Homo-oligomer: A and B are copies of this chain.
Amino acid sequence: MTNVAERRSQRREARRHTPVVQPGALINKLSPTEVVSAEGVELIHAASMRLLREHGILIVDYPAAAETFRKAGASVEWVDAEHLYPNGDTTKVCGHLVKIEEELLLQHLRNAPSEFTQLARNPARNMDIGGKRTVFAPVYGPPFVADYEHGRRSATLEDFQNFAKLAYMAPQIHHNGGTLVEPNDVEVKERHLDMLLAHALCSDKCFMGSVTHRENARDTVLFSEVLFGADNIRAHPATLSLINASSPLRFDDRMFGALEIYARARQAILVTPFLIAGAMSPSTMAATLAQQNAEALFGICYAQMLCPGVPVIYGSFLANIDMRSGAPCFGTPEDALALYAGAQMARRYKLPYRSGGNFTGSRIPDAQAGYESASTMWPTIQAGVNFVLHSAGWLEGG
Which residues of A does B touch, CB under 8 Å?
A: 30-31, 33-35, 331, 336, 365-375, 378-379, 382
Smallest CB–CB gap between A308 and chain B, Å?
37
4 more CB-based (< 8 A) A-B contacts, given A370-B372, A374-B375: A33-B33, A370-B373, A371-B371, A374-B374
Contact partners of A379 in chain B: CB under 8 A? 378
For A373, list chain B residues within 8 Å (CB): 370-371, 374
For A32, give the chain B residue with the smallest CB separation: B33
Chain B residues whose CB sits within 8 angstroms of the CB of A35 once the complex forms: 30
Secondary structure call for the A interface: helix
From B331, B370, B378, B382, give the contact of A367 (CB < 8 A): B370
Copies in the complex: 2
User: A26 CB to closest chain B CB, in angstroms?
Assistant: 11
Shortest distance between the CB of A388 and any CB in chain B (Å): 16
A348 to chain B, nearest CB (A): 18
Task: List B contacts of A331 (CB < 8 A).
Answer: 374
Contact partners of A366 in chain B: CB under 8 A: 366-367, 370
Task: Give Cα A373–Cα B369 distance, bound, in whole angstroms.
Answer: 12
Chain B: minimal CB distance from A55 (Å)? 31
Closest to A375 in B: B374
Interchain nearest-CB distance for A153 vs B (Å): 21
Nearest residue in B to A333 (C-beta to C-beta)?
B381
Chain B residues near A33 (CB-CB < 8 A)? 33, 382
Distance in angstroms between the alpha carbons of A378 and B369 in the assembled complex = 16
* With known contacts A30-B35, A34-B31, A370–B378 Cβ distance under 8 A: no
7 nearest CB pairs, A to B: A370-B370, A374-B374, A367-B370, A370-B371, A371-B374, A378-B378, A33-B33
> Which B residue sits closest to A379, measured CB to CB?
B378
Which B residue's beta carbon lies closest to that of A370? Answer: B370
